[in-house]
């Protein structure tokens, strides 16, 4: 059994401050072209009343539902686009005109999902979305994370993630944890590997390169050098890991997508 997974902070489907540009439609086409089995998404807009009036083509429903459907402009107009993914959404940041959070798109059925608030202070509302996915090889626990900007916050959020896994994921269960950890100094890797009993997946350019060149970053998308987006896997063997750069990827979000091909480890 093989799984292709992708982690991507989509910047709420809008780029630019002075002249905002709607990117969610192009994002959907690009994401479906990845042909991934599991897509871990951060900064997904569940509702935004201001954008709904500003952009004529703003999705009628939450972005997680919109992205789950097949990328067809004609179907969108007719209102019956085909669903290609199951989806789950975890609402984290709430404000008067809407809310956003994490989401999972899955080619396989999502048996259940739960969302845990891991906010460390009032200025940053962060969450952890946990889904159990029914794959042909058995259940996989998929956890979408988005950590804070402050180092001490990230340490406490790492502890909450580890505690959550210990309480809600069987010790031998297959698991993928992915998301935007904002860990540009790469301090959390050893902590999470030990606490989750998982291996960190690295987008390596070559095993013999010196240490400072081993890690390919995912931020900023036009010149990705900082490894903010991370993937941890348990019960799998990694066959390929890469950050997608160039072309449209540099324009659709401030992050670049991180794509990983996995194979189940035979017991």
**At 28, which CATH number?**
3.60.10.10
DSSP 6: E
Give residue 211's pLDDT: 37
Burial of 208 (C-beta count, 10 Å sphere; 0-12/13-18/19+): exposed
Give residue 148's pLDDT: 93
pTM listed for this prediction:
0.91
Give residue 81's pLDDT: 57
Where residue 235 falls (left for φ over 0; alpha for ψ -120 to 50; beta otherwise) is left
The parent domain of residue 99 ranges over 2-264
Give residue 122's pLDDT: 81
Give residue 246's pLDDT: 80
Give residue 59's pLDDT: 93
Give residue 124's pLDDT: 84
Burial of 221 (C-beta count, 10 Å sphere; 0-12/13-18/19+): buried
Radius of gyration (C-alpha) of the chain in whole angstroms: 18
Mean pLDDT of the chain: 89
Beta-bridge partner residues of 69: 83
Residues of the chain with pLDDT under 70: 71-83, 204-216, 266-267
In angstroms, what CA-CA distances link 50 with 47, 59, 97, 124?
Answer: 9, 12, 7, 21
Give residue 252's pLDDT: 94
Give residue 207's pLDDT: 40
When divided into structural domains, the chain yields a total of 1
Give residue 213's pLDDT: 37
């Amino acid at each position: 059994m093989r799984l292709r997974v992708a982690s991507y902070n989509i910047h709420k489907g809008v780029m630019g401050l002075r002249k905002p540009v709607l990117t969610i439609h192009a994002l959907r086409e690009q994401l479906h072209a990845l042909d991934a089995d599991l897509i871990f998404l951060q900064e997904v807009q569940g509702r935004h009343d201001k954008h709904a009036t500003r952009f004529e083509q703003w999705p009628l429903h939450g972005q997680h539902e919109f992205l789950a459907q097949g990328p067809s402009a004609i179907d969108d107009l007719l209102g019956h686009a085909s669903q290609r993914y199951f989806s789950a959404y975890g609402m984290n940041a709430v404000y008067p005109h809407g809310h956003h959070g994490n989401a999972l798109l899955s080619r396989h059925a999502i048996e259940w999902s739960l969302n845990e608030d891991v906010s460390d202070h009032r200025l940053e509302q962060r969450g952890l979305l946990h889904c159990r996915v029914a794959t042909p090889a058995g259940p996989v626990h998929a956890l979408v994370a988005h950590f804070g900007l402050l180092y001490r916050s990230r340490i406490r959020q790492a502890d909450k993630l580890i505690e959550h896994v210990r309480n809600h994921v069987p010790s031998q269960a297959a698991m993928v944890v992915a998301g935007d950890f904002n860990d540009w100094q790469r301090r959390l890797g050893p902590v999470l590997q030990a606490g989750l009993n998982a291996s960190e997946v690295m987008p390596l350019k070559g095993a013999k390169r010196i240490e400072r060149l081993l890690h390919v970053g995912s931020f900023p998308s036009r010149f990705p050098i900082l490894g903010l987006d991370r993937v941890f896997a348990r019960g799998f063997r990694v066959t390929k890991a890469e950050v997608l750069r160039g072309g449209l990827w540099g324009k659709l979000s401030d992050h670049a997508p991180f794509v990983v091909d996995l194979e189940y480890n035979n017991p």
